[in-house]
């Protein structure tokens, strides 16, 4: 069962990433990846900065999680 308190923590972290994106002139989307109850990766949209249409928050977070997990 999902603990809603944990869910709120994760959503706030994703929203904080979205805020970083917005402040950088990006589309305000953030993402976090959670494993075993802890955030192992986080990112935000980087499409404008990297001039890369694939640099969406979720793709960046998946890449970071993959690097973290090896």
Checking phi first, is residue 4 left (phi over 0); if not, alpha (psi -120 to 50) or beta?
alpha
The per-residue pLDDT for 1 is 55
The per-residue pLDDT for 5 is 72
Domain range annotation of the chain? 4-69
Task: Specify the CATH number for 4-69; select among 3.40.140.10, 3.20.20.150, 3.40.980.10, 1.10.1740.10.
Answer: 3.40.140.10
Per the annotation, the verdict on 48 as an active-site residue is no
Task: Check 17, 26, 48, 58 and give the catalytic one.
Answer: 58
The per-residue pLDDT for 57 is 98
The per-residue pLDDT for 55 is 98
The per-residue pLDDT for 2 is 60
Ordered per-residue pLDDT tens for the chain, 70 residues:
567 678 899 999 999 999 999 999 999 999 999 999 899 999 999 999 999 999 999 999 999 999 999 9
Q: For the chain, how many residues are written?
A: 70
């Amino acid at each position: 069962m999902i603990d809603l308190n944990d869910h709120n923590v994760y959503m706030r972290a994703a929203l904080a990433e979205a805020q970083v994106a917005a402040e950088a002139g990006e589309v305000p989307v953030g993402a976090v990846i959670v494993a075993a109850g802890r955030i192992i990766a986080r990112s935000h949209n980087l499409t404008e900065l990297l001039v890369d249409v694939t640099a969406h928050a979720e793709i960046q977070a998946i890449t970071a999680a993959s690097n973290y997990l090896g």
